């Protein structure tokens, strides 16, 4: 089987091309992303393998179908970048990796908050400059604080449990509450408004969809406690960047940690260090001392990459062998 692999990074190549037992797979690795303008690079393949920022819209899918592509394999959980209706219309199978390591994302979420709160990002640079002053590095104890988890799926639940381990009060909002889990971990469900008004830290763990876009906007951010921290490791468009900037400028938000950004496509995952940053809002956010940004790296652990590779390859083999895709991997 030939697979056209888009948005390839060195770690993808390492894990996929060295996976034992798949010698008959031919990989065409492309460093650029899949879109309707690059789709011809998939010619000759039966499957494409894509990530979070490949633009697999209706136009791209129509061209993939014309090229004879049968499978779109997402090597990620989120699928907001794929037009599923178009894939269905053209008879293309779409598979994903529903869960690779929820621990990787949950642990990164907590690392971001710990770094931001205890100002480790600033302390690290200071000490390297032999500046051993502590002025401006005061943080707060997490113990006893209220953490609001929006979305108690696989990642949200693990994040909540880690915060319980710190001695935090954990409250949650999810339209599909997990009552048994919540009771066993002393997590209490609230309405969204209650969560926003009661939390010292709000962490987002829900998917992006037309209904969740800009869930955190001027109005909902204004409901947050003055000085509260916001962490987003889910999807950039869940948060309205202009509203976050305004709330940081006014001091209403105490700190913001982002592993995802509204306009990350074309910026994140790449080295732009020799260029002028043309995204004014991102440039502004980077100047705030109480903002910490990582480049969509929450998933990036050895365990997660192994699991992504294993599940993706298994889904492709199942398709090749005429077997049904494992249910939760198949979209829609």
Tell me if the bond preceding 144 is cis, omega within 30° of 0: no
What are the two backbone dihedrals, phi and then psi, of residue 235, each rounded to the nearest 5 degrees? -145, 140
Per DSSP bridges, beta strands 291-293 and 71-74 are: unpaired
CB of 2 to ligand NAI, least distance (A): 28
Give the residue with the Cβ less far from ligand NAI, 185 or 296.
Answer: 296
| Catalytic annotation, pick one of 55, 75, 157, 264 | 264
278 is catalytic: no
Give the residue with the Cβ less far from ligand NAI, 26 or 328.
Answer: 328
Neighbours of 272 (CB within 10 A): 12
Give the residue with the Cβ less far from ligand NAI, 45 or 110.
Answer: 110
- d(CA 174, CA 185) in angstroms, rounded, equals 16
Give the residue with the Cβ less far from ligand NAI, 123 or 331.
Answer: 331
In the structure encoding, which two tokens stand for residue 249, read together?
A: 């400028």
Q: Which parts of this chain interact with ligand NAI (CB under 6 A)?
A: 77-78, 99, 102, 105, 150-156, 173-176, 205-208, 212, 233-235, 259-260, 296, 298-299
CB of 176 to ligand NAI, least distance (A): 4
CB of 16 to ligand NAI, least distance (A): 18
Do 260 and 296 meet the contact criterion of CB atoms below 8 Å apart? yes
Give the residue with the Cβ less far from ligand NAI, 70 or 103.
Answer: 103
CB of 37 to ligand NAI, least distance (A): 25
107 is catalytic: no
Do 82 and 72 meet the contact criterion of CB atoms below 8 Å apart? yes
Give the residue with the Cβ less far from ligand NAI, 69 or 156.
Answer: 156
Q: Which of 315, 318, 323, 322 is nearest to 96 (CA)?
A: 315
CB of 151 to ligand NAI, least distance (A): 3
What are the two backbone dihedrals, phi and then psi, of residue 119, each rounded to the nearest 5 degrees? 55, 40
| Catalytic annotation, pick one of 33, 55, 75, 235 | 235
- d(CA 100, CA 311) in angstroms, rounded, equals 8
CB of 269 to ligand NAI, least distance (A): 11
- d(CA 320, CA 315) in angstroms, rounded, equals 9
- d(CA 185, CA 161) in angstroms, rounded, equals 7
Neighbours of 318 (CB within 10 A): 17
- d(CA 225, CA 60) in angstroms, rounded, equals 44
> Residue with the closest Cβ to ligand NAI?
153
* Residues taking part in catalysis: 235, 264
């Amino acid at each position: 089987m030939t697979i056209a692999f888009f948005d390839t990074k060195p770690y993808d190549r390492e894990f996929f091309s060295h996976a034992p037992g798949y010698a008959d797979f031919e990989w065409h690795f492309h460093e650029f992303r899949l879109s309707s303008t690059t789709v011809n690079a998939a010619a000759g393949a039966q499957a494409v393998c894509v990530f979070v920022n490949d633009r697999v819209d209706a136009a791209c899918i129509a061209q993939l179908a014309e090229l004879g592509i049968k499978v779109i394999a997402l090597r990620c959980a989120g699928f907001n970048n794929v037009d599923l209706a178009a894939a269905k219309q053209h008879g293309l199978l779409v598979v994903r990796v529903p869960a690779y390591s929820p621990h990787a994302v949950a642990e990164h979420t907590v690392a971001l908050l710990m770094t931001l709160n205890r100002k480790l990002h600033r302390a690290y640079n200071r000490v390297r400059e032999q500046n051993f002053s502590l002025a401006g590095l005061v943080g707060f104890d997490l113990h006893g604080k209220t953490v609001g988890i929006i979305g108690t799926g696989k990642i949200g639940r693990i994040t909540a449990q880690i915060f319980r381990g710190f001695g935090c009060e954990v409250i949650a909002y999810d339209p599909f509450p997990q009552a048994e889990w919540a009771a066993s971990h002393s997590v209490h469900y609230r309405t969204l408004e209650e969560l926003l008004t009661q939390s010292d830290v709000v962490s987002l763990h829900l998917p992006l969809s037309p209904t969740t876009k800009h869930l955190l906007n001027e109005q909902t951010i204004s409901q947050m406690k003055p000085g509260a921290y916001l962490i987003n490791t889910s999807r950039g468009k869940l948060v309205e960047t202009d509203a976050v900037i305004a709330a940081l400028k006014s001091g209403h938000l105490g700190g913001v940690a982002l592993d995802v950004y509204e306009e990350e496509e074309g910026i994140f995952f790449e080295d732009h260090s020799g260029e002028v940053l043309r995204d004014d809002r991102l440039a502004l956010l980077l100047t705030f001392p109480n903002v910490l940004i990582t480049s969509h790296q929450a998933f990036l652990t050895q365990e997660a990459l192994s699991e992504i590779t294993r599940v993706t390859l298994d889904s492709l083999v199942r398709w090749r062998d005429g077997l049904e895709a494992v249910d939760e991997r198949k979209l829609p």
